[in-house]
Structure 1
Amino acid sequence: MNARRWGLVLAVFVAGVALLAALIGWELRAGALPVATVEPMPSDGSVTARGARLANAGNCMACHTARGGAPFAGGRRIETPFGDLYASNLTPDDETGLGLWSREAFRRAMQQGISRDGRLLYPAFPYAHFTRMSDDDVEALRTYLRFAPAVRQPNTPHALRFPFNTQAALALWRLMHFEPQRFQPDTTQSAEWNRGAYLVQGVAHCAACHGTRNAWGATTDPFGGEALPDGRWRAPSLHDPRQAGVQAWPLERVVALLRDGSVDGASVAGPMAEVVFHGTQYLPEAELRAMATYLRALPVRTSAPPEFAAADSSVLAAGEQLYGQHCADCHGKAGEGKPGQYPPLAGNRVVTMDDPTNALQAIVGGGFPPATPGHPYPYGMPPFRTLLTDTEIAAVASYLRQSWGHRASAVRSLEVQRVR
């Protein structure tokens, strides 16, 4: 390549870098907003009640409350592939919470992902989903939080690796993956479907867990399923009936699962148990029906199962023996379970999912459905973390996945070790 061409390439490169720098600078242009003025308690309690329902739908308390801490006071650690984030204080304390946040500052954070002081917020705070919320709903949520008990608790600084801890990197991520947008109803669908879409896509931000993500942590398929950022659980696909798709379920069964956490033949566990315990059990029936209507209407997309890996006969024999010793009394000799008490394992989608992570988590760490009015005294499963070795847990899991008509691949002890 001659000097002229090298010069042209260099000029294009410099121009590209300059353009990118200008775009990042434009993304970082937001400034601080004035502090809030004193606001009286609203005379109409319906706005606060509406905000409480939205907070429940968004499961705000679960993320913004540290274990054993005051509600909404922040401090909970959120593990990501890029480092650790810590949830902020949402209480109306002036120094450490939202006490000085104006209506405009709160709306900008929810819909644009920009803090009161002008800093860009990390998308672990799911503003990429909250951006769909209406101004009225954002204000109702702010009203609810503004008149909750104030807690003075300083926010814990994030612990992200370089360059992910820089505002420039965050600005670049937003240029690539974020565009503010309000929810637009689909006129070809019913009002109930649209309400469900608004809740699922917006305030409930279901895709924050169930969405497939790329290497940058951005959602590429809102409901395609993905391992959670900490790697401990997998949020299954809501498109695939082999995973968590409910397209073939009766509407009332979907409503009952969201409300009660348990129905005959299925129950929630892990992070989804938190969603029900802190959130969906408190939603009005109409909201749950709308969400169920939308979820049942998601298009069915199934993936081809991986090549089947049969377990060795000695492994299955060991697994059968361990199952009879530790599991059969509750789940039944043929995995039939006990209605209202213990879920069946025969035909259970958690058992037969291609990725065995959730089943292994239940064995290693125990299974604890949420306590709800519809299921106030759920039976829990004790953890076998200290009772069984990796090899023994792998044998039990392989037996479950290849018994009673199941055809799911065997589990290796290395997979159990990873879950531990």
Structure 2
Amino acid sequence: MSGRRTALRIALLLAALALGLAALVWRLNHLDEAPASTEGTAPPTPALLERGAYLARVGNCAGCHTARGGPPYAGGRAIATPFGAVFAPNLTPDAATGLGGWSRADFWAALHNGRGRDGRLLSPAFPYPNYALLSRADADALFAYLQSLTPVAQPNLPSQLRFPYNTQLSLAVWRALYFRPAVFEPDARRGAEWNRGAYLSQGLAHCSACHATRNGLGAGGTADFSGGLLAGSGWLAPSLHDPAEAGVMDWSPAALRQWLAHGSNAALASAQGPMAEVILGSTRHLNEADLAAMAQYLQALPRRPVERPEPAEPQPLLRELGRRLYGEHCAACHGQQGEGVAGAYPPLAGSRVVTMASPGNLLLIIQRGGFAPATAGHPRPFGMPPFAGVLDDRQLAALASYLRNSWGHQAGDVRLLDVVQLKSRRID
């Protein structure tokens, strides 16, 4: 008899826990903290549309919501995630396939609470944890600009998320665990410029969408910039907390502003890969005040060194092969000592891309080539040709090993297995 009572108590306890969890999921996914709209019913003013256009560029909205070769903002670009691909939707004001039937409140619910117009929960591949920080005034201005675009009839594509990640229940549980809608709250201990930089970096510019370290369910903090692997591409967004990776604490403010605005600076770095796209579509459009604010915020990030793996056993024969390959393919541009050519070819000696804990980005640049963004301050950047069809996997490992252990570098060798693993996590 006592055994039955114990089993009944356990069953009742489990039922209570299940009901409590369900109530918690429901409660956290039906919060409505939306402040009132700041935009009236009158037609948007030119100033409002100009502000919205600026915000759209800061957020690089067209970067995700434009398919390659397709109409701007009409959607269709695949966004890779560890759980399958999602496709960016149509943001033009087409009534049937875009935002034509949306209201400001609908748009705010999507940005602030991750909900579609029909009330369905949106995948956090759309970085609403970042966009939730936007002020209602900025959300209204952005919506007004999108509504001013030329409508494009382009149906949205269904996601390719695997089960159970494609279910509303899994999204509700994820949100209950990791998401709270809340607009940006300035830090009273910091000045106005730092707070503006934090608002931009954590919010609309959504830097952490790439640079956060994510857990097994894809969750990361909006103010975490510890570095993360970009699903499906093989690129690593390096840590902004570590000066040996991508931290800018030791740069001058002028050098950082130049890099954000133009994708390169005189002595320190040249943007490559996905970051070149971000600069081309977003940060080069920042006005001087916002450039200074973002620079101040990024330079004030706490220092946290990335844990480096134990170096592989040195392979002298591999490095010697790499030395010969460097002389044959690289030295003419980058110099015998990796010194580069100012204004043309970046130096490899002292390059953080070369010496990062992970060799992944270096291998990708060797394979795919290096292409800095063309900007007003750097209108004709020199490109580096890809070597994927020239060097085999062993040669790639050899060349990378030579670069990581020359000119004072002690970054360790690259194994053939590293090259193979990098290719296995890419979707070309």
TM range (shorter): over 0.9
Of 322, 330, 334, the residue aligned with 1:331 is 334
1:5-404, aligned counterparts within 5 Å? 5-26=6-27, 41-42=43-44, 44-220=45-221, 222-264=224-266, 265-404=268-407
Amino acid of the structure 2 residue aligned with 1:387: V
Query: Could you tell me how far apart the structure 1 residues matched to 2:133 and 2:27 are?
Result: 23
The alignment of Structure 1 onto Structure 2 pairs a total of residues equal to 413
Does structure 2 retain, via aligned residues, the 8 Å contact 1:134–1:182?
A: yes
SS in 2 for 1:169: helix
Query: Could you tell me how far apart the structure 1 residues matched to 2:134 and 2:237 are?
Result: 23
Query: Could you tell me how far apart the structure 2 residues matched to 1:26 and 1:155 are?
Result: 30
Query: Could you tell me how far apart the structure 2 residues matched to 1:95 and 1:297 are?
Result: 46
State the Cα distance separating 1:310 from its structure 2 match: 4.1
Q: Any idea what the Cα deviations from partners look like across 1:140-182, whole Å, max 9, x if unmatched?
A: 1001111011111000000111111110110110000000111
Identity of aligned residues (%): 52
Does structure 2 retain, via aligned residues, the 8 Å contact 1:353–1:408?
A: yes
Closer/same/farther in 2, CA of residues 40 and 70 from structure 1, 3 Å limit: farther
Does structure 1 retain, via aligned residues, the 8 Å contact 2:29–2:175?
A: no
State the Cα distance separating 1:7 from its structure 2 match: 2.3
Query: Could you tell me how far apart the structure 1 residues matched to 2:58 and 2:231 are?
Result: 21
Query: Could you tell me how far apart the structure 2 residues matched to 1:269 and 1:2 are?
Result: 66
Q: Which residue of 2 aligns with 1:36?
A: none
Amino acid of the structure 1 residue aligned with 2:192: A
Amino acid of the structure 2 residue aligned with 1:59: N
Q: Any idea what the Cα deviations from partners look like across 1:225-249, whole Å, max 9, x if unmatched?
A: 1111225100011100010000111
Amino acid of the structure 1 residue aligned with 2:394: T
State the Cα distance separating 1:392 from its structure 2 match: 0.2
Closer/same/farther in 2, CA of residues 243 and 30 from structure 1, 3 Å limit: closer
SS in 2 for 1:159: coil
Does structure 2 retain, via aligned residues, the 8 Å contact 1:260–1:281?
A: yes
Query: Could you tell me how far apart the structure 1 residues matched to 2:309 and 2:277 are?
Result: 31
Structure 1 unaligned blocks of 5 or more: 32-38
Q: Which residue of 1 aligns with 2:426?
A: none
Does structure 2 retain, via aligned residues, the 8 Å contact 1:88–1:156?
A: yes
Amino acid of the structure 2 residue aligned with 1:252: A
State the Cα distance separating 1:412 from its structure 2 match: 1.3
Query: Could you tell me how far apart the structure 1 residues matched to 2:146 and 2:28 are?
Result: 28
CA RMSD of aligned residues (A): 1.7
Deviates most, 224-233 or 288-297? 224-233
Query: Could you tell me how far apart the structure 1 residues matched to 2:247 and 2:174 are?
Result: 30
Deviates most, 123-132 or 263-272? 263-272
State the Cα distance separating 1:46 from its structure 2 match: 1.4
State the Cα distance separating 1:28 from its structure 2 match: 6.0
Structure 2 unaligned blocks of 5 or more: 33-40, 424-428
State the Cα distance separating 1:52 from its structure 2 match: 1.2
Deviates most, 403-412 or 389-398? 403-412
Query: Could you tell me how far apart the structure 2 residues matched to 1:93 and 1:195 are?
Result: 33
Query: Could you tell me how far apart the structure 2 residues matched to 1:282 and 1:103 are?
Result: 25
State the Cα distance separating 1:83 from its structure 2 match: 0.9
Does structure 1 retain, via aligned residues, the 8 Å contact 2:242–2:305?
A: yes
Does structure 2 retain, via aligned residues, the 8 Å contact 1:30–1:118?
A: no
Query: Could you tell me how far apart the structure 2 residues matched to 1:157 and 1:395 are?
Result: 43
Query: Could you tell me how far apart the structure 1 residues matched to 2:95 and 2:373 are?
Result: 34
Amino acid of the structure 1 residue aligned with 2:224: P
Q: Any idea what the Cα deviations from partners look like across 1:200-227, whole Å, max 9, x if unmatched?
A: 0110010111011111100057111111
TM-score (ref. length: structure 2): 0.93
Does structure 1 retain, via aligned residues, the 8 Å contact 2:340–2:348?
A: yes
Query: Could you tell me how far apart the structure 2 residues matched to 1:377 and 1:252 are?
Result: 21
Does structure 2 retain, via aligned residues, the 8 Å contact 1:261–1:273?
A: yes
Deviates most, 302-311 or 176-185? 302-311
State the Cα distance separating 1:41 from its structure 2 match: 4.5
Query: Could you tell me how far apart the structure 1 residues matched to 2:422 and 2:270 are?
Result: 21
Amino acid of the structure 2 residue aligned with 1:17: A
State the Cα distance separating 1:79 from its structure 2 match: 1.1
